Amino acid sequence: EIVLTQSPDFQSVTPKEKVTITCRASQSIGSSLHWYQQKPDQSPKLLIKYASQSFSGVPSRFSGSGSGTDFTLTINSLEAEDAATYYCHQSSSLPQTFGQGTRLEIK
């Protein structure tokens, strides 16, 4: 099983700040890495597919990068509505796995 480790687990940030969340895979997964945002009491929403491709309708402040084992989700100029938990997800091999999540709090 491929383990995805996100860092940090929690981050408290101010609006307009730039945020970087990392996701490290226990073995190479190419670009089969996707990012989701989940707000309280809502279902997850896709942000980034295949490591760096933005999903339709996602604000341009969200971007992804990386390949192999190291990946990054960047949020430029954070907005209050970005308060949420963010998950990475690998679909390179079964079982599909998710990172443990990174909770962003807006100060």
Partner 1 sequence: EVQLVESGGGLVKPGGSLRLSCAASGFTFSSYSMNWVRQAPGKGLEWVSSISSSSSYIYYADSVKGRFTISRDNAKNSLYLQMNSLRAEDTAVYYCARCRKEGGGSCYSDYWGQGTLVTVSS
Among positions 87-106, residues that touch partner 1 (CB under 8 A) are 87, 89, 91-92, 94-101
Among positions 3-62, residues that touch partner 1 (CB under 8 A) are 31-32, 34, 36, 38, 42-46, 49-50, 55
Closest among 45, 73, 71, 51 to 61, alpha carbons compared: 73
Q: Cβ(73)–Cβ(35) under 8 Å?
A: yes
Minimal distance, residue 30 CB to partner 1, in Å: 8
Annotate 81-106 with DSSP letters as a single string.
GG-EEEEEEE-SSSSPEE---EEEEE
Binding site for partner 1 (CB under 8 A): 31-32, 34, 36, 38, 42-46, 49-50, 55, 87, 89, 91-92, 94-101
